[in-house]
Amino acid sequence: MALALGTAALMLMSSLLVLALPYLRRSIELTRLGLSERADHKRFALVEEYDPGRELRAEQRARALLRSCVNEEDWSMYSELGFLRVWGTLEAQPYGYLIYPHKPILAYVPFTNHMLGEYCVEFPDRTRPFGSTRLPDSDDVLAKWIALTADERALIEQANMHLAGRQIRIAKARRDLLCLACWERERGESRGRAPRRAGSVPAL
Amino acid sequence: MKLLRVKPGHGEVVLAEGDVAVPEQYSELLAVFSRELDAGLWAAVPTSTRTGRREAELVRSFEDVPADAERVIFFPRAAGGS
């Protein structure tokens, strides 16, 4: 008797499942559609909030602020090479950092150009004006420069350290260091010469 | 003295400007300074060493700001990135 009842219950359940399957499928589809519409709406909203002109103006202001804070040589380095070098002060051995906008700070040893590691650090603005936490490029560089020159140890402790080559390719970093050496040599040579009056283009 | 804040999509924004020697302006500068620090921002004063090398100094209270400072720059607190 019990076996018969159990079998009947199983049959009933499987029949109900077969009957309910199309409805279940439909409700899953509807849920998926709703989620994707919501994501699309969010994506469109972000695209609408992005204004390239506004970002460009913000970057120009950020460059002017950076220029007013760092040394003339550092500004030339950044405007011509796209990164800034800051010397480390925590160790007796000489070492330096390369600061790139919105990329990790790269520690290296001069002369050998040995890469020590990447320090990943961000300065997210939680107020999210215009929906983004991301500072203009030059403001990001300025924030890193301020933090490194003011309190190197605190910044390094705050950052997540990774092996060199994780985000900035070692070949690129070596090329940048080579460019930096050439750039410094040229500046050293040009200091000895009379200033050029024609053909020179002032940095932004 | 100018209190500046760097912001996404803006660049620098002037939050307040005034003379610390004038009591009313000092109060306004102090209020804005405290508000930004309470909001979790870091404050820095660009400085120069004796050799003329430019640096920056993080300040944690308005009293730490050098009297002759022209600008205080507020920027978001550092966080470990990925």
Torsion angle in degrees (nearest 10) through CA of B46, B48, B54, B57: -40
Q: Which residue of B has its CA nearest to A61?
A: B11
State the pTM of this model: 0.77
**Residues linked to residue B45 through DSSP beta bridges, in sequence order:** B57
A71: CB partners within 8 A, 6+ apart? B53, B54
Instruction: Convert the pLDDT of each residue in B4-34 to its tens digit.
Output: 999 999 889 999 999 999 999 999 999 999 9
Instruction: Give the residue from A119, A120, A98 showing the smallest Cα distance to A108.
Output: A98
Shortest Cα distance from A8 to chain B (angstroms)? 58
Task: Write down the ipTM of this complex.
Answer: 0.93
pLDDT of residue A190: 73
Gap between the Cα atoms of B36 and A129, Å rounded: 15
Gap between the Cα atoms of B57 and B55, Å rounded: 7
CB count within 10 Å of CB A97 equals 23
User: Is the minimum CB–CB distance between A104 and chain B shorter than 8 Å?
Assistant: yes
Own/partner pairs, B66-70, CB within 8 angstroms, 24+ separation: B67/B20, B69/B1, B69/B45, B70/B1, B70/B2
3-state class of B45 per DSSP?
A: strand
Out of B46, B78, B79, the one facing A69 most closely (by C-beta) is B46
Instruction: Convert the pLDDT of each residue in A131-180 to its tens digit.
Output: 788 999 999 999 999 999 999 999 999 999 999 999 999 999 999 999 99
Q: Are A106 and A98 in contact (CB under 8 A)?
A: yes
B42: CB partners within 8 A, 6+ apart? A146, A147, B58, B74, B75, B76, B77, B78
3-state class of B36 per DSSP?
A: helix
pLDDT of residue B67: 85
Token pair, residue A152, equals 């190197």
Gap between the Cα atoms of A75 and A62, Å rounded: 12
Tens-binned pLDDT, residue by residue, of chain A (204 aa): 777 888 888 787 877 777 777 777 777 776 665 666 665 555 555 555 778 899 999 999 999 999 999 999 999 999 999 999 999 999 999 999 999 999 999 999 998 999 999 999 999 998 888 778 899 999 999 999 999 999 999 999 999 999 999 999 999 999 999 999 999 999 887 766 654 444 455 555
pLDDT of residue A99: 97
Gap between the Cα atoms of A57 and A54, Å rounded: 5
Out of A54, A60, A143, the one facing B75 most closely (by C-beta) is A143
Shortest Cα distance from A76 to chain B (angstroms)? 14
